[in-house]
Amino acid sequence: NAGVTQTPKFRVLKTGQSMTLLCAQDMNHEYMYWYRQDPGMGLRLIHYSVGEGTTAKGEVPDGYNVSRLKKQNFLLGLESAAPSQTSVYFCASSWGYAQYFGPGTRLTVT
C-alpha cells in the first residue's frame, strides 16, 4: 500500500499561471481533503469530498477548484496563481475521523 501520494513534490509558478495538483489514495477511503500549511499556522482546509463526484468548500476555498471524478483521486486546481498561494499543500483521506496525509507539494508563486 502506497497510502496517499501527491504529485508533483515541488513546483514554481509565475503569477497568473495555472496548475493542477494530483492526489491519489489506495486505501478505498470515501473522504478526501486538500489543506494548505503556512509557517507557524495550523492546517487549513481548502476543499474536501465525501465521495466520488462530490466536492465541498472548506475554510479557505477562494482561488482553488477541485474535482473527484474517481474515488481514488482528488485534484486541486489553481486557475490563476497568486503569490498568496505560496504554501505547502497536503492531501488527506479518511474513512472515519482520523485522516491520513500525503507527503505534500511545495508550491512557490513568484
Partner 1 sequence: GESVGLHLPTLSVQEGDNSIINCAYSNSASDYFIWYKQESGKGPQFIIDIRSNMDKRQGQRVTVLLNKTVKHLSLQIAATQPGDSAVYFCAEYSGGGADGLTFGKGTHLIIQP
CA distance 13 to 5: 21
Torsion of CA 65, 72, 13, 56, to 10 degrees: 20
Q: Is 55 in the site for partner 1 (CB under 8 A)?
A: no
Map residue 83 onto helix, strand or coil.
helix
Per CB under 8 A, the list member of 17, 58, 61, 72 interacting with partner 1 is 58
> By CB under 8 A, which span of 16-24, 61-69, 74-82, 96-104 interacts with partner 1?
96-104
82 binds partner 1 (CB under 8 A): no
**Residue 8 binds partner 1, judged by CB under 8 A:** no
- Residue from 14, 28, 39, 69 binding partner 1 (CB under 8 A): 39
CA distances from residue 109 to 18, 20, 68, 92 in whole angstroms, order as listed: 10, 14, 25, 23
- Count of H helices and E strands in the chain? 0, 11
Q: C-beta of 96: minimal distance to partner 1 in Å?
A: 9
Residues that bind partner 1 (CB under 8 A): 4, 31, 33, 39-43, 45, 48, 50, 56, 58, 90, 94, 97-104
